[in-house]
Structure 1
Amino acid sequence: MADTNYDVIIIGSGPGGYVTAIRAAQLGLKTAIVEREHLGGICLNWGCIPTKALLRSAEILDHANHAKSYGLTLEGKMTANVKDVVARSRGVSARLNGGIGYLMKKNKIDVIWGEAKLTKPGEVVVGKTSKPAVQPQNPVPKGVKGEGAYTAKHIIVATGARPRALPGIEPDGKLIWTYFEAMKPDVMPKSLVVMGSGAIGIEFASFYRSMGVDVTVVEVMSQVMPVEDAEISAIARKTLEKRGLKILTEAKVVKVDKSSNSITAHVETKDGKVQQITADGLISAVGVVGNIENLGLETLGVKTDRGCIVIDGYGKTNVPGLYAIGDVAGPPMLAHKAEHEGVVCIEKIAGLPNVHAMDKSKIPGCTYCNPQVASVGLTEAKAKEQGREIRVGRYSFNANGKAIALGEDNGMIKTIFDKKTGELIGAHMVGAEVTELIQGFVVAMNLETTEEDLMHTIFPHPTLSEMMKESVLDAYGKVLNA
């Protein structure tokens, strides 16, 4: 009879789940992971990774169509083959999906295939999955466990999230899309309405615009990418509009009419007027909600709030032996947050000393549109709301040699310091490759770096990273190259 007792069972194999499983195995805990659909979860299969593959294709196309500005001549206009673009994206996901399977085997983590339900403390009952097979794991292959009852002293819920649907504008997979359909179009639409300008909405808007699609973004808040610093958002918006994106802020889609092959979105603006926008389709990108249904949480009396499981700083729920991490445990709903949260949770379970609760103020956010946007810490407005006296530094891409040489001289880096202590409390960027630069400020904030430390750090020349130091110098009236 198969062994069904574990130290730890993790429900869900997204970034939070599989990383937690690996760390648990490293700590000597007998570990199993339950998955109903695909190893790697949404991030690897339908989110973070395949969207970046799509955006890379868009970036190459943008560069090719502006080759003349680099002194290059390409015969004719470059065009995108939608099937090949999608196939490359899916191939990238498939490669990484297989890699996670290898990591599970390498770390001697049992994979249990099916849908999990919590029936009583310390028990998970796994039933047949209702999801279609998206990888060769259904039927269950040799070496992978399936339906049955399993027990563990510690059970971690890492079931992720799914797209939020607005009443009356529910996705239908044909004319109204979520990111699932937006990621694999059969044909390229001529026009789209994108509802929501958070990371998901603006990335797809940017991708489809690069592909030549007429795109209109509708955002209910007063700025695109509402969580970002207002100044950075304004620069991003100006650049996106220069690329041909139409953006309506302080506006909302109140109704969608559907015909056989198009939609008409009724968009209400802040003055109460309603305009109609007809397009080939609409992408609904109005956020996500945690996957808390059909898990048996109610049976165990697990506390939830606004569609997410309530936890403490170490992933503990109000039920002993039950934990939650990642999107299902609440915002920010980011893969890297889920991974770190899972490591904190399992190290606390294992009894490691000096395990620190995650500091959400130091979680970076990245949006991979063109131009890229990245940030960590407080915005200028939030810092002022908290009553802090601050120093703000700014440095523009158009004063940086590497940016000019790259032909990417549109953007800005902004740093925010506590005026009394010199502590770096926020960093915000818009422009080429800022999603790769932001980690420098994240490290600095975790080390409680002051402006003096950053000023004494030598940045290599010529690089985009030099702008980080110049922004710091600007906050203290010492900028050198502007």
Structure 2
Amino acid sequence: MNQKSNNASTNTSEKTTRKVSVAVIGAGTAGQNAFRQAQKTTENIVIINDGIWTTICATIGCMPSKLLIAAAARAHEAKSSKEFGVHADVQIDGKQVMSRVQAERDRFAGFVKRQVESWPEDKKISGRAYINKEGLIEVNDELIAADKIIVATGSSPFVPEGWVDKLGKTLITSDTVFELTDLPASMAVVGTGAIGLELAQAFTRLGVDVTLFNRVNRVGGLRDEDINQKAIECLGHELTMQLDSKIIDVGTQTNADNEAPSAFIDYKDSAGQSQQWQGECVLVATGRRNNINQLGIENLGVELDDKNRPKNLNINTGQIGDLQLYIVGDANAHLPLLHVASDEGFSAGSEVCRDNVGAYIRPPAIPLGIVFCEPQIANVGMSLPEIERSERTHVTGKVSFDNQGRSRIMGVNCGLLHIYACKETDKILGACMVGPDAEYVAHILAVAVTNELSVKELLDTPFYHPTILEGLRSALRDVQKQMSIPHQAEKREEDGF
């Protein structure tokens, strides 16, 4: 691994059962990408995994959550179609909803499993890895000396201290929610990040009585206060939210008729008044934490900051300083998103290639986050606070979707888009949005930021009529107007109708 570990492995060679060029610890998205890439140039490689040999995305994350959201969207469209003159009697079969979620989830996970099954058995080790003080990897009854180590151990749900014991079986997390065999009658969701918002709205639309809690008056991690307030307004038409609330205690209580225990949450609301929520279960969506605490990476000289993130991290490759150690994906807690984990795993697997032959290091992705609630929430590039701290001279282009043509036609006219642009360079710095089709608007803006397109260059591309994306053009024109650059000035009237 490093000089220390190489010397140690020589002194304990009689105890070492295997010597490898590369060891990958963790078989999620990042780990699997790293293994596949590194295997192209070295046969002397192992991948060690504790738990399921699939990915968070396929098994407990992106795919099952979108399956639940898809069911919820069907129910919502049917129930809210009266304004279009379409009347429907909606009946939701909770068991069938969850059965389809699980069946399709297992189908997606099956693709990953088949990929893993195609790998040589002698290169896969099931067990919990620990890096000892000699720099050797202990797993099961083996000691493994690795020239290079890639750590891709992922993340786990964070649950406040004591809640597991207090809530017992009434507590569920994003790791367990998709194992429900039926829809509960009522649910509290704690946390308004991406996971909390998406699941709270989905269960609400499927007929579950949901109350959403958060300790601050913010949803979706939004840092632009105008967008945040608009998101609260739009989502508040459906969701019961207790924002800016303080949870005092949680627990369970048994009903007089000896039914299964129900959960309770004692809290103070935004006005400071004591309240209690009671219901069937509590979904804790208070974030995820990286799984590196008990791995022993400190024995290799790795230091962590106050948020458990490794210091001296190369965001391109995941390498820690000059150590032959790479920490990638959710394990480094840099940007815990699937596409980032995929790129980091690919880059780390390329970087450890022998003599770096055939290595292709993907550039770090710009920040891009999407919350798949309705209306959707998106953040692209630099946030408004980051821009303000940088002291760049910037302007903010704005557009409301409340009366935007296609949005109103579709009955999804609630939203707001802000585009932040540098006044000196005419380049887009970032954007924040709540509104319809935010996922597509965000991708267009991400391409613009990545390729350093000017506002004029983006406006020179076609915008088809009538589309929701015409709202993007309106915001760009607002940016252009504020730039006060003569050769870019346009006087065309808005043609959104």
Aligned twin of 2:10: none
Distance 1:298 1:166 in 2: 25
The C-alpha deviation readout for 1:177-216, integer Å capped at 9, x for no partner, is 2123333333423322221111111111111111122222
Matched, 1:432 2:430: no
The equivalent position to 1:17 in structure 2, one of 27, 31, 47, is 31
TM-score, normalization by structure 1: 0.86
SS of 2:184's equivalent in the other structure is: coil
SS of 2:71's equivalent in the other structure is: helix
Distance 1:443 1:227 in 2: 21
Instruction: Please state how far the C-alpha of 1:441 moved relative to its aligned partner.
Output: 1.1
The equivalent position to 1:162 in structure 2, one of 148, 156, 176, is 156
Residue segments in structure 1 that go unaligned for 5+ positions in a row: 128-146
Q: Which moved more, 1:54-63 or 1:43-52?
A: 43-52
Instruction: Please state how far the C-alpha of 1:57 moved relative to its aligned partner.
Output: 0.7
SS of 2:234's equivalent in the other structure is: helix
Pair 31,231 (structure 1): closer, same or farther in 2 beyond 3 Å: farther
Instruction: Please state how far the C-alpha of 1:463 moved relative to its aligned partner.
Output: 3.0
The equivalent position to 1:387 in structure 2, one of 388, 391, 401, is 391
Instruction: Please state how far the C-alpha of 1:122 moved relative to its aligned partner.
Output: 6.6
Aligned twin of 1:310: 311
Aligned twin of 1:190: 185
Q: Which moved more, 1:205-214 or 1:263-272?
A: 263-272
The C-alpha deviation readout for 1:340-382, integer Å capped at 9, x for no partner, is 22223233333367846625xx220111112211111233344
Matched, 1:222 2:236: no
Greater Rg over alpha carbons, structure:
2
Aligned twin of 1:292: 292
Instruction: Please state how far the C-alpha of 1:254 moved relative to its aligned partner.
Output: 1.9
Aligned length: 456
Distance 1:258 1:113 in 2: 37
Distance 2:368 2:212 in 1: 24
Distance 2:138 2:186 in 1: 46
Distance 2:41 2:410 in 1: 46
Instruction: Please state how far the C-alpha of 1:263 moved relative to its aligned partner.
Output: 2.3
Instruction: Give, as a single letter, the amino acid of the residue that structure 2 aligns with 1:158.
Output: A
Aligned twin of 1:51: 65
The equivalent position to 1:84 in structure 2, one of 73, 96, 104, is 96
Contact 1:374 1:438 in 2 (8 A): yes
Identity %: 27
TM-score, normalization by structure 2: 0.83
Instruction: Give, as a single letter, the amino acid of the residue that structure 2 aligns with 1:92.
Output: E
SS of 1:468's equivalent in the other structure is: helix
Pair 8,476 (structure 1): closer, same or farther in 2 beyond 3 Å: same
Distance 2:124 2:467 in 1: 44
Distance 2:406 2:118 in 1: 42
Aligned twin of 1:358: 364
The equivalent position to 2:331 in structure 1, one of 325, 328, 331, is 328
Distance 2:384 2:79 in 1: 37
Matched, 1:257 2:261: no
Contact 1:25 1:108 in 2 (8 A): no
Pair 269,331 (structure 1): closer, same or farther in 2 beyond 3 Å: farther
Instruction: Please state how far the C-alpha of 1:14 moved relative to its aligned partner.
Output: 1.4
Matched, 1:152 2:155: no
Instruction: Please state how far the C-alpha of 1:311 moved relative to its aligned partner.
Output: 4.5
Aligned twin of 1:93: 105
Contact 2:98 2:183 in 1 (8 A): no
Matched, 1:203 2:202: no
Instruction: Give, as a single letter, the amino acid of the residue that structure 2 aligns with 1:183.
Output: F
What's the Cα RMSD here?
A: 2.7
Distance 2:271 2:87 in 1: 48
Instruction: Please state how far the C-alpha of 1:50 moved relative to its aligned partner.
Output: 0.9
Contact 1:165 1:286 in 2 (8 A): yes
Distance 1:190 1:105 in 2: 40
SS of 2:207's equivalent in the other structure is: coil
Residue segments in structure 2 that go unaligned for 5+ positions in a row: 1-16, 255-260, 482-489
Aligned twin of 1:475: 479
Instruction: Please state how far the C-alpha of 1:325 moved relative to its aligned partner.
Output: 0.7
